[in-house]
Amino acid sequence: MTDITIYHNPDCGTSRNTLALIRNSGTEPAVIRYLETPPARDELQKLIADMGISVRDLLRKNTPPYEKLRLAEAQFSDEALLDMMLMYPILINRPIVVTPLGTRLCRPSETVLDILPNPQREAFTKEDGEQVVDEQGRRIRT
């Protein structure tokens, strides 16, 4: 049984890089494809609380429902924003990673390194060519 969960979208490069960094630590996480299996309302509220962010901070802005529903407007309550995320899971920003060390929205992907219990096993380069872990498994600060 794994103690790491990632709310993942395989079409997202940041999500793919985050998943690869988790695997580079020697752990196979539970992968939840949240577009196919969205979290329940209470689960989404818990994730937001555990990350210490606002409901609005979790909204993905560069997606058609955000513009169509005019979610940038301030009149929407947290409850209304949650309703929209549950109705349109693409509005949930990703990837969200849960580990024994915390819960984070991992943007950029190397944010996951702050909450992984195990160190990186080898060098890691993101899909865009940016190296984030050196040959000794140490995070490269840029």
Instruction: Give the list of residues 6+ apart from residue 10 with CB closer than 8 angstroms, or none.
Output: 16, 33
Residues 40-93: name the CATH superfamily: Glutaredoxin (3.40.30.10)
Region 6-13: mean pLDDT is 97
Query: Residue 112, class by beta-carbon neighbours within 10 Å (0-12 exposed, 13-18 middle, 19+ buried)?
Result: buried
Extract the tokens encoding 99.
């580990």
Catalytic residue among 4, 6, 12, 96: 12
Place of tokens 């990837």: 95
- pTM equals 0.94
Structural domain spans, the chain: 1-34+95-142, 40-93
**CATH number for region 1-34+95-142:** 3.40.30.10
Pair 88, 60: CB distance under 8 Å: no
pLDDT digits (tens, 9 = 90+) for 87-112: 999 999 999 999 999 999 999 999 99
Q: In the annotation, is 106 catalytic?
A: no
The confidence band for 63, taking pLDDT boundaries of 50, 70 and 90, is: very high
* pLDDT of the residue at 141: 79
The yes-or-no verdict on residue 84 having pLDDT over 90 is yes
- Write down the pLDDT at residue 47: 98
Give the whole-number percent of the chain exceeding pLDDT 90: 94
- Cα separation of 20 and 103, whole Å? 17
Query: To the nearest whole number, what is the mean pLDDT of the chain?
Result: 95
- pLDDT reported for residue 43: 97
